[in-house]
Amino acid sequence: MEIIAETFNSPAANGRTAERARLGAIAVVGLGYWGPNWVRNIHQSGCAERVVACDLDAGRRDRIAHLYPATRVTSHFDRVLADPEVEAVIIATPVGTHYEMARRALEADKSVLVEKPLATSPAEAAELVALARERERVLMVGHTFEYSAPVLKLRDIIASGELGEIFYVSSTRANLGLLQHDVNVAWDLAVHDISIILMALGQMPERVSCHGESHYRRGIEDVALLTLHFSRGVIAFIHVSWLDPNKIRRTTVVGSRKMLVYDDTAPQEKIRIYDKRVDVQRYYDTFSDFQYSYRYGDIQIPRIEETEPLRLECEHFVDCIRTGATPRTDGLCGLRVVSVLHAASASLRDGGRLTPVEVPRVALR
């Protein structure tokens, strides 16, 4: 049996709601930058009877134990896997450990949520997808922005056709830091924009090119520009940087009828729709009659009710475990994003050469 990795979930496919039931225990492995946010959301949502927090660093464990006294802390991953009450494991460890820890958790018959990216290669990601299917466990990837209300609104606006035919997407994600030691800026930051763009457009790029440079740590680029080429001439540009004086989280979508700007740093009004476009005179007799006209219309700001995306992601993970539903950001979603990053890395090492994006088929073992 084979799973075709190119199939996308439709916007309505995950609209199913379920009566929420609590899990016995959820374990969060990795209590560095992001793991404590998972511990907080599990406690606040009440989606598990017990929370287990695992990290090698005693200071991190002590901090979680102080903030959440009911949490059981441990430094032993093996004990987490051996605990029969632990039904799900959330992995928020360094990227290079994602595959091995997720594999071991699935083999221990735990459902697994892996923070982005799912793995460091398409082959590893595909193996995790196959293993989850074989063990009949949920495999979900922490593409948190896909649970963000403004991003979901962006997707719906594109799907509605309000913008017209999509010409291009341009995303910038920049800040001063945080420099990483195990992955470059594309694997750290562009992973967000890739997941957003793939979901919003509902298709995979055919080819990718990537240029970048490392200024502080050899072989780990701190600034990069990715170009994704889709079918029908649609193109997407992603600029990511750890070396920028300003925090920028902005995506522009340009269509044949209207244009949209999503600014995640805006305190309010994160999405603006601009009634701007270029019109071409449909009929003309001679080349000298050929003219462009420019439309400058109104700006529309849609109302968006926001909830913390991580809270929604947490509840969705538990719902999928309880009901057997396919997660919105399932293993195949993670595999597609890793495949784009893998092609970008190959392009980067080859001087920015345009590189095909190849998503492996996933065969059950």
Helix (H) or strand (E) holding 86: strand 86-91
Q: Give CATH superfamily name and number for 2-145+309-329.
A: NAD(P)-binding Rossmann-like Domain (3.40.50.720)
Taking residues 335-340, what's their average pLDDT? 98
Assign 283 a pLDDT band (cuts: 50, 70, 90): low
Whose tokens are 């993970």? That residue is 317
Within 10 A of 264 (CB to CB), how many other CB atoms are there?
18
| pLDDT of res. 16 | 38
Q: What's the pLDDT tens digit per position in 57-82? A: 999 999 999 999 999 999 999 999 99
Taking residues 114-139, what's their average pLDDT? 98
Is it the case that residue 151 has pLDDT exceeding 80?
Answer: yes
Kindly tell me the sign of the dihedral angle through the C-alpha atoms of 124, 25, 108, 93: positive
Give exposure, 41-71, as e/b (b: 16+ Cβ within 10 Å): bbeebebbebbbbbbeeeebbebbeeebeeb
Taking residues 197-201, what's their average pLDDT? 98
Cα separation, 339 vs 333, in Å, equals: 10
Within 10 A of 288 (CB to CB), how many other CB atoms are there?
7
Task: Please count the helices (runs of H) and the strands (runs of E) in the chain.
Answer: 10, 17
Is it the case that residue 168 has pLDDT exceeding 60?
Answer: yes
Q: Whole-model pTM above 0.85?
A: yes
Within 10 A of 269 (CB to CB), how many other CB atoms are there?
13
What is the token pair recorded at 338? 């890793």
Q: What's the pLDDT tens digit per position in 29-44? A: 999 999 999 999 999 9
Q: What are phi and psi of 271, to 5 degrees?
A: -120, 130
| pLDDT of res. 170 | 98
Is it the case that residue 289 has pLDDT exceeding 90?
Answer: no
Taking residues 102-108, what's their average pLDDT? 98
Are 2-145+309-329 and 149-300 in the same CATH fold?
no
Whose tokens are 């032993």? That residue is 76
What is the token pair recorded at 179? 């420099």
| pLDDT of res. 363 | 74
Taking residues 195-216, what's their average pLDDT? 98
CATH of domain 149-300: 3.30.360.10
Q: What's the pLDDT tens digit per position in 237-265? A: 999 999 999 999 999 999 999 999 999 99
DSSP structure class, residue 187: I
Taking residues 162-181, what's their average pLDDT? 96
Domain boundaries, the chain: 2-145+309-329, 149-300
